[in-house]
Structure 1
Amino acid sequence: MSPPPVRVALAAAVRTLPRAAGLAYEPKFDGHRMVVLRTEEDVVLQARSGRIVTGAFPDLAAAARQLPAGTVLDGEVVVWHAGRTDFALVQRRAAAANAARAAVLAQSLPASYAAFDVLELAGVDVRGRPYERRRALLVDLLLPLGPPLQPVPMTTDPELAETWYETLPASGIEGLVVKRLDQPYPAGRRAWRKLRHTNVRDAAVIGYTGTPRRPLALVLVLPGEEDEAPLVSSPLSEVLRTELAAALAERGPAPAGGGGAGGATVTAIGLGEVPFRLLDPPLAAEVRHSSVRHPPPEVLRLRTDL
C-alpha cells in the first residue's frame, strides 16, 4: 500500500528579487516536482499531483534506497543534456509506459534529483523546524551519498543570488526560489517566492483539439495580451495527453455542441482554421512562450491546483 499523498509547499511569483535579512535563495530547476518517500518497505516517488511515478524512474528509486527508512524529501527531477537541464527529456522519462521502457530510458537519459527540502528524517517529522535547520539536515544527509541525489545550491547573499539569476539560464535554470530562514515547511501554501527568467505564465484552457480520449493540443487564452485571442499550443506530450484525458473523463460526457466537427474553430500556426472542443468551465495550464504568435505556447503542466 502506498502512503497518502504528501502536500507540497508552493511559491508565489514575484517580479523583482526580494532583499531582506533572513532570506535564502535557491536556483529553480526546470524539471518535474517530485517527493521521495523512503518507507520501511521500499521507495515511493510521488509527482506534485499526488500520482505515483516510481516505475518511470527506476534509477532514482534505486538511489533513494540508500536513505534511512522514514525519510521524505521534496525536490525536482531533472535530466541533463549538453550541459543544461532539458524539460522535454524529463517529460520523456515520465511518459515511460512500462518497466522495460523505463529501464532503457534510465540508461540513455539518466535522471538527477535536485532536493531542496526534507520533511521527515529517519521517522522524525521535521516540517515544523526552521528552513535553516532543515537545510542543514538535508545537506548532512545527501552529501555523503552523492549523485543522483543532491541538495540544490543555496545562498543567503542577494548579490550572489542575482548573479545566479543572470548567468544560470544558460544551464537551464528557470530562476530563483526565495525562502525565509526561520520558516517551517509551508505544506499546501504559497509561502515561498519565485522569480522566473523565462516567459512562463498561467493560461486559461478554453478547449482542446483531438478527441476526449486522445487530446492533441490545448486552445489557450493568455491573460494580459491586447486582444486575448485564443491560441493553439504546441502538441501535448504523452504525459499531458494522458493527464488531460483523465481530467476530461472525470467531467463526464461533453454537452451537445461542445466543439469538434461542426463546432468552434481557431486559427493554428501553419494549419489555418482547425476545429476544437470547448471546455466549460475552462481548465488552467502553465505555459512557456517567447511571443504571442510564434512559436506556439509550450504547455508545461496542467494547473489542477487552481
Structure 2
Amino acid sequence: MDFPVAVALAELVPTLPVGTSWRYEMKLDGHRAVLWREEDTVRLQARSGRDVTANWMDLALAAFEMLPPDVVLDGEAIIYAHGRIDFAATQSRALSTPARARRLAEDLPAHFVAWDILLHPEHGDVRGRRYDERRALLVDLLEAYNVKPPIQLVPMTDDPAVAMTWYQQLPEQGIEGIVAKQATSVYRTTGRVWKKIRHAETVEADVVGYTGPAARPRALAVRLPDGRVALTQSLKAPLAAQVAVHLAASGPPRGTRTRAGEPYTTAAPGLVVEVLAGTTRHAVVTVTRLRST
C-alpha cells in the first residue's frame, strides 16, 4: 500500500438508515487522519493526502510505541478541552507550524480515534473485506497489543435506537452526528457508500479557487454537492488567514470563471469548507468554517 491512500467518504442524509445490515458509529468533531505505522516510523496523512505528521507528533510517538509495523488505520484526530471534544483546538493544531504544534500538544494532547483498518500486519491489505470483518480485525489488533489512549476505538452499535440516543444526547460532548455503514460493504473510495446524519445544518464543499490576493482571500470559489461552482460571501479575517496557509502551496495562480461568469483564481485541491445548507440554492454561499486540509 502506497502513501498517501485515498479515503472513503460519507454522504449526508436527512435520516438514519435502518435495517439489520447497518452499523452505526459516533461521528466526532475532529480532523480526518490516516495513521501509518511503518517499520521504522509513523506517518499521518490528511483526507487530502497531505503529510501532517509534524502537526500530530504526540500521536505518532504513541502509535510507534503501541502498534506493530505494517498497520494503516483510518480515523479522526481530536482534542479534548473543557470536558468535551473541541474542534477549535483541533483546528488550531492542524493549522499550526510544527514548532507551535509541539507547544500546543503540551497543554492539549491529541487523541486518535480509529474506525477502520486498511492494512493489517498478518492479513495485508484488508480494504476488500466486508466491514464486519475489518471491524473485528481492528478490535482484535488493539486488544492484542494492549493499545490505550491516546489511540482508541470509535464506539459502534448495530442498534439504531442506541445510535439515535448518542445523536440526541451527546452533541454537547462534541459528538456531531452518526455515520452508518453496511455490514457487508468493502472500503470504497469511489462514491459515498457510508451515510451520515449531523446536527449542524451545513454541507461540505471543495474549495476550487478564491478571489483577491492569496495572502488575504476575499471570497472562495467552492464546488457544491450538486456540482455547481459558486462564490462565497466575504470571508472574515480569521477564516481568511486559515485559508491563506493552504493557498500559499497552490502554485502559480491561474484565472478562470464560474458558469455565471464570475472570475476567480484556481487553488490546489484538498481544502474543504462547511457552508450553510440553506444558502447553497443561491449564487453566493456562506462559509462557516474550514473543515480539513
TM-score norm. by structure 1 comes to 0.78
Task: Give the residue type in structure 2 aligned to 1:195.
Answer: I
Q: Aligned residue pairs: how many?
A: 273
Tell me, in whole angstroms, the C-alpha distance in 2 between the residues paired with 1:39 and 1:32.
Answer: 21
Aligned to 1:267: none
Verify the 8 A CA contact 2:211 2:265 in the aligned structure 1. Answer: no
Gaps of 5+ in 1: 259-263, 265-276
2:249 equivalent to 1:246: yes
Verify the 8 A CA contact 2:211 2:264 in the aligned structure 1. Answer: no
Q: State the SS of the aligned residue for 1:119.
A: strand
2:49 equivalent to 1:47: no
**What is the CA RMSD across the aligned residues, in angstroms?**
3.1
Verify the 8 A CA contact 2:26 2:178 in the aligned structure 1. Answer: yes
Verify the 8 A CA contact 2:47 2:292 in the aligned structure 1. Answer: no
Aligned to 2:191: 189
Task: Give the residue type in structure 2 aligned to 1:61.
Answer: A
**CA 1:238–1:94 in structure 2 vs 1: closer, same or farther (change >3 Å)?**
farther
Tell me, in whole angstroms, the C-alpha distance in 2 between the residues paired with 1:149 and 1:102.
Answer: 18
Aligned to 1:126: 126
Please show how residues 115-264 of structure 1 align to structure 2 within 5 Å.
Answer: 115-122=114-121, 124-143=124-143, 144-203=146-205, 208=210, 210-212=212-214, 214-219=215-220, 230-234=232-236, 235-236=238-239, 239-247=242-250, 249-250=251-252, 252-254=253-255
Task: Give the residue type in structure 2 aligned to 1:72.
Answer: V
Verify the 8 A CA contact 1:14 1:195 in the aligned structure 2. Answer: yes
Tell me, in whole angstroms, the C-alpha distance in 1 between the residues paired with 2:87 and 2:205.
Answer: 19
Verify the 8 A CA contact 1:207 1:279 in the aligned structure 2. Answer: yes
Please show how residues 80-95 of structure 1 align to structure 2 within 5 Å.
Answer: 80-95=80-95
**CA 1:302–1:112 in structure 2 vs 1: closer, same or farther (change >3 Å)?**
closer
Tell me, in whole angstroms, the C-alpha distance in 1 between the residues paired with 2:34 and 2:60.
Answer: 11
**CA 1:150–1:102 in structure 2 vs 1: closer, same or farther (change >3 Å)?**
same
Please show how residues 6-45 of structure 1 align to structure 2 within 5 Å.
Answer: 6-45=5-44
Tell me, in whole angstroms, the C-alpha distance in 1 between the residues paired with 2:189 and 2:266.
Answer: 30
2:269 equivalent to 1:287: no
Gaps of 5+ in 2: 280-285
Tell me, in whole angstroms, the C-alpha distance in 1 between the residues paired with 2:196 and 2:19.
Answer: 15
Structure with greater Cα Rg: 1
More RCO (CA 8 Å, sep 6+): 2
Q: Deviations over 1:81-109 (max 9, x none)?
A: 112212221121112313x3222111112
Q: State the SS of the aligned residue for 2:4.
A: coil
Q: Deviations over 1:4-59 (max 9, x none)?
A: 21111111111111011111000111111100011112101111111001111111
2:65 equivalent to 1:69: no
Task: Give the residue type in structure 2 aligned to 1:95.
Answer: L
